[in-house]
Chain A
Amino acid sequence: MKLLEYEAKAIFAEQGIPVPRGAVIRSPEELPGRIADLPPEFVLKAQVDVGGRGKAGGILMADRTSGETIAGELFGKLIKGVPVREILIEERLAITHEYYASIAVDRSSKKALILFTDSGGVDIETLAKENPDAIRKASLPLLLNQIPQFMLRDLLGSAPKELGPVIQNLYRVFISRDALLAEINPLVTTPGGPFAADAKLIIDDNALNRQGITQNRDLTEREREAEKHGFSYVELAGSIGVIGNGAGLTMATLDLIEYYQGKAANFLDVGGGADQERVMHAVRLVAADPSVKVIVVNLLGGITRCDDVARGIISAGISQPVIVRLAGTNEEEGRKILDGSGYRMMDSMEEAVQAAVEAVQ
């Protein structure tokens, strides 16, 4: 789950990373009461999770007289389609140079990958393509509880030594918060020392519980409903509903729909143990999306009981047609149950998908 800038900065500050003085407001009227501790000129930053927020007009300069009006304008804006519900007011920093520092989970090395560059404030992915030599890298096995000094020296190169402790503390954030990514861009130097001018923190969804986070905000309402049942669900733009067991098989079903020039409405992986009850909930959930015109159910498993699955589909009692591919125990019985109720059971996923694509044409 992605945290907002102000949430990430609060966590960075706890671990000793200097962040600008600031306050969060949820309406323009709150502004006058929150700027007493700030210098006369400050920055208003829309708390929206979009890339290129500054260029999209999400960061505005203001002062004591203009603050409330400018905050009002910002609250009325959509930043890349996202409404502004919270604004972070921050002191303006006297920046002498911008750097970049991040720590991320690296799949290939299975270690923490630390990146540092003195070309901060840029899009790191663009920099990686255009000037990869400008990025210094280090890999750290998570068995180490801090970054060794030699590694910090290598990362910093000729950059000021005062940035070392910031990166060291960023690793503490990374470890203590089960982060997939902890990023400071830009990490700035000022006459008053270094600051995290921006902050990004992504928490591992599988660690939300032990991080005390009860709800994953990155999910839509229907995705959250699906999660309650133990399903993985992703909303898409087409009209063919898809239910499968296993992420790979469900993705392959979506891909086949595209192969036969159809468009899937969703991805729903029922996970393990597709019994009558779970299948019923899955079918109802997918059918509740008004854009769904037909549903493909593709279940394959050694221990999945096809008769149970067939009963689950029927008991969902939905209006859209359901085309079923089932392989497992009691296949014949499942087929009889479905045939008797007007549902179509196909022998392969290709046939099931083709039939669904034809049904919506």
Chain B
Amino acid sequence: MIYGDRNTGIIVTGATGKQGAFHIALINEYARQVGGRGVVAGVSPGKGGQDVAGVPVCNSIRDALREHDASAAIVFVPAFAAGDSIMEAADAGLSLVVAITEHIPVHDSMRAISYARLNDCAVIGPNCPGLLSPGEVKMGIMPVHLSSRGHIGVISRSGTLTYEIVDQLTRAGLGQSTIVGIGGDPVIGQTFSDVLRRFEDDDQTRAVVLIGEVGGSLEEEGARSTDLPIAAYIAGISAPPEKRMGHAGAIIEGGEGDARSKIERLKAMEVPVASRPSDIPAIIKKLI
């Protein structure tokens, strides 16, 4: 397990919003199935004393921590206040923040991630589906029915494409140790390198699938940083330059970050790169 396990207590910020309330229920349904603690408290300023999906709501993370034991937060608050929510979690001493919120201004993310780092708090996301360690803990919005417990780590900048590939792995009998959606924004907290470092210390993980896309060079930096066996898929080989492909971070800028050059650089490091998502299970089977 990386980042957390069934004993991890979770606080959800933006708990009384539609998304927050909906996903608290799903996270705790999964926690009940696997015998985990799940979400112990929700936070929504001014809504303290209410409860959402059977979870007590507090006015602040510090308030919540006075009565509940937690080490991680999941942020569902709207984009304009999400950077603030990440900093609140770091300031309160939590060691992990998973920021689901999309459309956070990038300067807010940069500030919040820098601040979290000063407080030794890891940020996953923003604009991500969170993480899932099958059979242990779900901290985010990933559907659980496609996953199965096993030895393959998955790191991805995407959401639904991750579910697609996890489904293919499961069908091929390749269970997953932890699936981490690191987010589709240009600036994100935990990168491929950071997650790979955690997987290196994880006895359960034998190989890692790296799901990248156009924009930046985090995939190559990640591949260069690890000795773990990895297989990659890079989305966006057909993406035109200077166009944002759905994710704020999925853009080829100034002739950099296109899929072909990423794939070439990965192959030069002897990382096998799948041409189709469905080719990944066969590549992984060769690696382990």
Q: Which A residues lie at the B interface, using CB under 8 A?
A: 105, 107-108, 110-112, 125, 141-143, 175, 178, 180, 204-207, 210, 232, 234, 236, 244-252, 254-259, 264, 267, 269, 300-303, 327, 348-350
The reply to whether A255 and B105 form a contact with Cβ atoms under 8 Å apart is no
Interface string of B118-149 (1 = CB under 8 A from A): 10000000000000000000000011111000
User: Which of B31-39, B53-61, B201-209, B232-240 contacts the other chain?
Assistant: B232-240
B residues contacting the other copy or chain, number (CB 8 A): 62
**How far, in whole Å, are A357 and B215 apart by their CA atoms in the complex?**
27
Question: Nearest chain-B residue to A105 (Cβ)?
Answer: B106
The reply to whether A141 and B245 form a contact with Cβ atoms under 8 Å apart is no
The reply to whether A246 and B276 form a contact with Cβ atoms under 8 Å apart is no
- Smallest CB-CB A-B distances: 6 pairs: A302-B143, A248-B158, A247-B246, A246-B160, A248-B161, A207-B105
Partner of B161, one of A125, A232, A252, A267: A252
The dominant DSSP class at the B interface is: loop
Contacts of A108 in B (CB 8 A): 216-218, 221
Question: Nearest chain-B residue to A260 (Cβ)?
Answer: B276
Q: B283 near A: Cβ within 8 Å? A: no
Q: B254 near A: Cβ within 8 Å? A: yes
Q: Which B residues lie at the A interface, using CB under 8 A?
A: 79-80, 103-107, 110-111, 113-115, 118, 142-146, 156-164, 167, 184, 186-187, 189, 211, 213-218, 221, 233, 235-240, 243-250, 254-255, 259, 275-278
Give 28 pairs: A residue, B residue, CB < 8 Å, sorted on A: A105-B106, A105-B110, A107-B249, A125-B255, A143-B111, A175-B107, A178-B106, A207-B105, A207-B106, A207-B107, A248-B156, A248-B157, A248-B246, A248-B247, A249-B160, A250-B246, A251-B236, A251-B238, A251-B239, A254-B238, A255-B236, A257-B238, A258-B238, A302-B163, A327-B167, A348-B278, A349-B277, A350-B276
The dominant DSSP class at the A interface is: mixed
Q: A12 CB to closest chain B CB, in angstroms?
A: 18
Please give 8 more A-B residue pairs, beta carbons under 8 A apart, in addition to A207-B106, A210-B80, A248-B247.
A107-B187, A141-B114, A210-B105, A247-B246, A249-B161, A252-B277, A302-B145, A349-B277
The reply to whether B245 and A234 form a contact with Cβ atoms under 8 Å apart is yes
The reply to whether B162 and A248 form a contact with Cβ atoms under 8 Å apart is yes
Partner of A110, one of B79, B110, B118, B237: B110
Q: A205-B244, A206-B104, A246-B160 are in contact. Are A264 and B238 (CB under 8 A)?
A: yes
Question: Nearest chain-B residue to A129 (Cβ)?
Answer: B255
Q: A332 CB to closest chain B CB, in angstroms?
A: 15
Q: A1 CB to closest chain B CB, in angstroms?
A: 11
The reply to whether A255 and B246 form a contact with Cβ atoms under 8 Å apart is no
